[in-house]
């Protein structure tokens, strides 16, 4: 059956309007209450109250075709009406003349899919069901146990292997998103904000687990050995092929091909794990190194001609937004005025050449500031101001002597230098995998003299 023979043509209109976030969030809230209610549907008034509660928690929400001054009850009724118009729900009247709301079957499937996206740990939701090790360990346990249900075991191992590959692909996709974001963002604030999100959402929740606690290498070799053992055993392969006869339209040879292909696919996946993880490592390094390089460039660029022109343009843009265009133009006008000289005099462009007297006694004065000494001093200065793990650990330990956490805003309170910003970047990068402390994003901002920066908290670990 074709997809749009099942789903109405106006179904996705709910997700494409200007109020799409409001509608989707209200939809999730109503569906959550629907799942906890009666099997035969929920009272429409209960759904209405759920939406009203959501609107009270989000007072600035606006609804199409409803006056801004309308009550939350009116807005809730409009939202439920919109659900019904787009055919996500049915509202019927039962024998007791009570309006009952039910979600349509296809709507339930799509809502569950949408919720699974928003609740995925790769997008900031920590769900233990999304561990790489869980899939691999399940496959390993199934293969290691003694059994005779070979076809069923192969099917379950295959499902867990594909689920593991799917998680890897999602991780790879998010890494690519963050790498693209470096090009798309040219503000230090945005780049650091993305780096904080990257560290909390992606590295701590997925990448770090893949490299440490969810390390798949300890199961990989045994899984490959057992799969190859099945493939080399004609009795086992015959057993699996017989179970696959129904899938192969009772064609025994085709059933054997299907069984062999499934085993080959899994063996290839597990053999390629080293390369896959190496690629993910490479993308992680690209993102971190490129982000640091761009932030360094933007910090230094602020003092050159391009940086100063950018500051002038930002100043004018802010004035225009606040409807002070004329005032802005008057303020910047002197910057673009050149002094005019109607007559050029000899004294203005010509300096007579002075007489040169050769000194008979030209001795080199003793100077302690030799190139060698300067290079040595610059080397030690660079060495002392670098951002190695030892330097960052020593720096944080000064704060952790008396407390278990410190905010980035507290670190920058006394030092707003570019070096302090770079130090914060490396604190972000070393969190978790290099040094034992964690990062928690905060909803407050740090006012820097060059930009505004999202604040975050640094939590000390047990081993630091």
Examine the domain organization and report whether 114 and 167 are in the same domain.
Answer: no
Examine the domain organization and report whether 134 and 113 are in the same domain.
Answer: no
Among the listed residues 197, 205, 203, the one whose alpha carbon sits nearest the alpha carbon of residue 456: 197
Give SS3 for 447. strand
pLDDT digits (tens, 9 = 90+) for 168-220: 888 888 888 888 888 888 788 888 888 888 887 777 677 777 766 556 778 88
pLDDT digits (tens, 9 = 90+) for 361-414: 444 445 555 545 554 455 445 444 567 888 888 888 888 888 888 888 888 887
Task: Dig out the tokens for 383 from the structure.
Answer: 């060495």
Examine the domain organization and report whether 113 and 144 are in the same domain.
Answer: no
**316 in any annotated domain:** no
Backbone angles phi, psi at 198, to 5 degrees: -60, -45
Examine the domain organization and report whether 253 and 110 are in the same domain.
Answer: no
Examine the domain organization and report whether 110 and 207 are in the same domain.
Answer: no
**322 in any annotated domain:** no
Q: Are 111 and 31 in contact (CB under 8 A)?
A: yes
Examine the domain organization and report whether 157 and 77 are in the same domain.
Answer: no
Examine the domain organization and report whether 114 and 133 are in the same domain.
Answer: no
**243 in any annotated domain:** yes
Rounded Cα distance, 154 and 443, in Å: 48
Q: What pLDDT does residue 215 have?
A: 64
Rounded Cα distance, 284 and 282, in Å: 5
Mean pLDDT of 410-424: 80
**256 in any annotated domain:** yes
Q: End of a domain among 265, 297, 329?
A: 297
Mean pLDDT of 33-60: 86
Examine the domain organization and report whether 159 and 111 are in the same domain.
Answer: no
Confidence of residue 315 (pLDDT cuts 50, 70, 90): confident
Q: Are 194 and 177 in contact (CB under 8 A)?
A: no
Q: How many domains does the chain have?
A: 3
Examine the domain organization and report whether 183 and 287 are in the same domain.
Answer: yes
**338 in any annotated domain:** no
**158 in any annotated domain:** yes
Examine the domain organization and report whether 114 and 138 are in the same domain.
Answer: no
Q: What pLDDT does residue 27 have?
A: 93
Q: Are 100 and 93 in contact (CB under 8 A)?
A: yes
Distances (CA, A) of 315 to 67, 245, 265, 303, 331: 37, 73, 59, 16, 10
Rounded Cα distance, 182 and 191, in Å: 7
Structural domain of 447: 378-460
Task: Calculate the dihedral angle through the C-alpha atoms of 193, 121, 430, 423, rounding to the nearest 10 degrees.
Answer: 10
Examine the domain organization and report whether 389 and 427 are in the same domain.
Answer: yes
**202 in any annotated domain:** yes
Examine the domain organization and report whether 145 and 269 are in the same domain.
Answer: yes
User: What CATH number is attached to the domain comprising 12?
Assistant: 1.10.10.10
Confidence of residue 358 (pLDDT cuts 50, 70, 90): low
**pTM for this entry:** 0.60
Average pLDDT taken over every residue of the chain: 79
Q: End of a domain among 92, 119, 146?
A: 119
Q: End of a domain among 72, 100, 119?
A: 119
């Amino acid at each position: 059956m074709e997809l749009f023979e099942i789903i109405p043509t106006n179904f996705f209109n709910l997700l494409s309007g200007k109020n799409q976030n409001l509608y989707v969030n209200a939809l999730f809230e109503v569906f959550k209450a629907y799942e906890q209610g009666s099997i035969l549907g929920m009272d429409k008034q209960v759904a209405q109250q759920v939406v009203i509660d959501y609107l009270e928690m989000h007072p600035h929400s606006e609804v199409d075709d409803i006056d801004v001054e309308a009550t939350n009850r009116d807005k809730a009724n409009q939202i439920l009406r919109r659900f019904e118009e787009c055919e996500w729900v049915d509202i019927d009247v039962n024998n007791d003349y009570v309006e009952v709301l039910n979600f349509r079957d296809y709507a339930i499937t799509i809502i569950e899919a949408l919720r699974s996206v928003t609740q995925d740990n790769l997008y900031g939701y920590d769900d233990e069901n999304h561990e790489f090790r869980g899939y691999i360990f399940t496959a390993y346990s199934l293969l290691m146990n003694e059994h005779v249900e070979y076809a069923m075991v192969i099917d379950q191992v295959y499902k867990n292997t594909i689920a593991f590959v799917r998680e890897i692909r999602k991780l790879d996709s998010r890494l690519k998103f963050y790498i693209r974001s470096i090009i798309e963002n040219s503000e230090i604030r945005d780049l650091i904000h993305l780096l904080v999100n990257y560290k909390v959402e992606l590295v701590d929740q997925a990448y770090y687990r893949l490299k440490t606690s969810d390390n798949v290498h300890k199961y990989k070799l045994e899984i490959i050995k057992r799969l190859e053992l099945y493939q080399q055993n004609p009795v086992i392969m015959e057993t699996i092929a017989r179970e696959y006869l129904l899938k192969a339209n009772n064609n025994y040879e085709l059933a054997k091909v299907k069984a062999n292909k499934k085993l080959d696919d899994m063996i290839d996946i597990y053999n390629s794990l080293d390369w896959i993880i190496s690629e993910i490592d490479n993308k992680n390094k690209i993102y971190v190194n490129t982000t640091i390089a761009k932030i360094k460039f933007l910090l230094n660029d602020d003092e050159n001609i391009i940086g100063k022109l950018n500051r002038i343009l930002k100043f004018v843009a802010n004035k225009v937004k606040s409807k002070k265009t004329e005032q802005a133009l008057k303020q910047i006008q002197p910057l673009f005025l050149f002094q005019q000289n109607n007559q050029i005099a000899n004294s203005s462009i010509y300096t007579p050449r002075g007489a040169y007297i050769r000194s008979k006694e030209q001795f080199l004065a003793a100077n302690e500031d030799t190139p060698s000494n300067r290079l040595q001093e610059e080397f030690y200065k660079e060495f002392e101001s670098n951002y190695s793990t030892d330097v960052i650990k020593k720096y944080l330990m000064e704060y952790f002597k008396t407390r278990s956490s410190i905010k980035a805003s507290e670190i920058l309170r006394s030092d707003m230098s570019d070096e302090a910003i770079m130090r914060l970047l490396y604190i972000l990068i070393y969190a978790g995998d290099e040094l034992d402390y964690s990062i928690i994003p905060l909803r407050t901002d740090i006012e820097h003299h060059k930009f505004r920066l999202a604040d975050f908290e640094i939590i000390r670990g047990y081993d630091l």
